[in-house]
Amino acid sequence: MTNKMTDLNIALVMFDGAEEQDVVGPWEMFWWATTFDNHPEAKDMTEADFSYTFNSDNSRRLPNIFTVAPTTAPITMSSGMRFLADYSFENVPAANVVVVPGGEGARATEKLKANGTLDYIHRIGTAKDTKYVMSVCTGSFVLGHAGLLDGVQCTTYMNQYDRFSREIPSAKLVRNTSINFVQDGKHLTSNGPCSGLATSLRLVEDHVGTRKKDKLRELLSFVYPTAKGLILKDGTLTDHNV
């Protein structure tokens, strides 16, 4: 597979009350995967390779991974941490991947509509060159209210199934508490906050291949438990482990 993570311009959306792990987890996965983009696929990662790449002066900030929010002023997240977005919706660079967190703030649909969050997510999610639309935990509610889950096989945080069915009836909700994610084409939705790590691994695998995904998993010691998901293939949801 000739794809690279640098093919992807990944916008991680933030808003007041967004869950910290839903942003930090995917950021870490994509950052590591992109940092080692040029490492030969067939070559194991040696200590020297790791030290050279990880300690490189230009590896801290990667231009293709960034956060975006209604404002670049401090945002208070779901568990009380304060984050600063890289960009607001007014000056954000082009993206072909959008990642949407859950958290208490994901319930504030009217606020997300008023501050432009839903419009931004809808715009990226419906663009013809968009590669992936991903949510973590109850971020699937935000995707749904942005009009991106009509007829899409998807999941959400396992204790929110009934509310999701009421609020987003046009989506095809998969009620399965044992899975981390569901992938339907470019759409990846996930269970609770830690499932964002598994869903991010799946996105990496889908874009750059299983070998590089396995090397990333090993590099980050993501060894237990096996991350489980369902992928829509030929009209059927099929088990898939990452």
22: left (phi over 0), alpha (psi -120 to 50) or beta: alpha
With beta carbons less than 8 A apart as the criterion, state whether 99 and 135 touch: yes
Among candidate residues 22, 10, 5, the one with its CA nearest the CA of residue 142:
22
Which tokens sit at 51? 């030290």
Helix (H, G, I), strand (E, B) or coil at 241: strand
168, 149 in Cβ contact below 8 A?
A: yes
Q: Which of 137, 149, 179, 227 is catalytic?
A: 137
User: What's the distance, Cα to Cα, between the start and end of the chain in Å?
Assistant: 17
- Active-site residue, 194 included: no
Q: Say which DSSP state 104 is in.
A: G
Question: Which pair of tokens denotes residue 152?
Answer: 């899409």
> Which distant-in-sequence residues (6+ apart) come within 8 Å of 237 by Cβ?
153, 174, 182, 230, 231
| Cis amide prior to 225 (ω within 30 degrees) | yes
Q: Which of 15, 241, 239, 4 is nearest to 121 (CA)?
A: 15
Looking at the annotation, which residues are catalytic? 137
